[in-house]
Amino acid sequence: MQVTTAPQGLFEPRHWALAQGRSLTLGPSGLLMGILNVTPDSFSDGGELTSIDDASARARGFLSQGASILDVGGESTRPGADPIDATTEQARILPVFAKLRAALPNALLSVDTYRAGTAEKAVAAGAHIVNDVSGLQREPDIAHVAAAAGAGLCIMHTGRGRKKREDVIADQVAFFERSLEIAAKAGVRSEQIVIDPGFGFAKDERENFALMARIGELHSIGFPILAGTSRKRFIGHATERPTTERAVGTAATTALLRAAGVAVFRVHDVAINRDALAIADAMIAQQR
């Protein structure tokens, strides 16, 4: 039996330009982005990192396990989470960036925010990547921040606060057309951009699995893809596992999506997803 993978061109080297003159090569091997939520209420790890030292220790662990990027967030994006203001968000994350920049100067850092002001301060504090869960559509000025800093920019699809198209891929394409127009007008270069289909963000189980099955159709948009399936509800729906027991299910999605050409994976559990990528990449290398 032969497992079908994405067109081989997707696994050729591709340059992802980041802030401070840094970069990553996407394509030949899948890369991992470790999640550092310094929040009290994130859906699966809220309250675990209660100090700067906790965050630093987990960051070191992620890097030793094979993460290429550390993604720091200060506001929960789970459904029903209590909103916070920019001052609270920045008070949570900016000291973490300062600590990580000093303790781990070679680490690549990402800020998980939709706020332009927070993104600007995080980049000044050492972030190389801006990861916007609103796809630039909540505070479009965030695109100007990324452009000015030359930062990597992850543009995520969401169904929240808008009427979705019935077809999951048609909705993705329409959403990204608007987001990419915002990025282009702000002066963001194409080599700075990756796109994220936004698993779990106003998508039910059927939509999430349909998106997985059809992820290859998103390559036509022309940008590398980052996937954030980690511990999401649709994995629990299939495995009947609670949130904290979804690492294996997450790793399965990682391997399947890697075979379909996804480049970067945002995860809570780095080690098991590193192994999943090792298997997928070995298969891809054999097929190439």
Predicted confidence at residue 50, as pLDDT, reads 62
How many residues are given for the chain? Answer: 288
Torsion of CA 264, 134, 185, 120, to 10 degrees: -80
Predicted confidence at residue 272, as pLDDT, reads 98
Domains (range + CATH), the chain: 12-20+28-287 (3.20.20.20)
Predicted confidence at residue 260, as pLDDT, reads 97
Predicted confidence at residue 239, as pLDDT, reads 97
- Where helices occur in 127-186 by DSSP H, the ranges are 141-149, 168-186
The answer to whether residues 287 and 261 touch, using CB atoms and an 8 Å cutoff, is no
Predicted confidence at residue 77, as pLDDT, reads 74
Per-residue pLDDT of the chain (288 residues; tens, 9 = 90+): 344 566 778 899 999 999 999 999 999 999 999 999 888 744 444 446 567 888 889 999 999 999 999 999 999 876 666 788 999 999 999 999 999 999 999 999 999 999 999 999 999 999 999 999 999 999 999 999 999 999 999 999 998 888 999 999 999 999 999 999 999 999 999 999 999 999 999 999 999 999 999 999 999 999 999 999 999 999 999 999 999 999 999 999 999 999 999 999 999 999 999 999 999 999 999 987
Predicted confidence at residue 274, as pLDDT, reads 98
Token pair 């990756």 is found at: 194
CA 33 and chain centroid, separation? 7
Predicted confidence at residue 48, as pLDDT, reads 60
DSSP 200-268: TSS--HHHHHHHHHTGGGGGGG-S-BEE--TT-HHHHHHH---GGG-HHHHHHHHHHHHHTT--EEEES
CA 25 and chain centroid, separation? 16
Active site residues: 232, 266
Predicted confidence at residue 42, as pLDDT, reads 46
Q: Could you give the CA distance from residue 59 to residue 57 in angstroms, rounded to a whole number? A: 5
Predicted confidence at residue 96, as pLDDT, reads 94
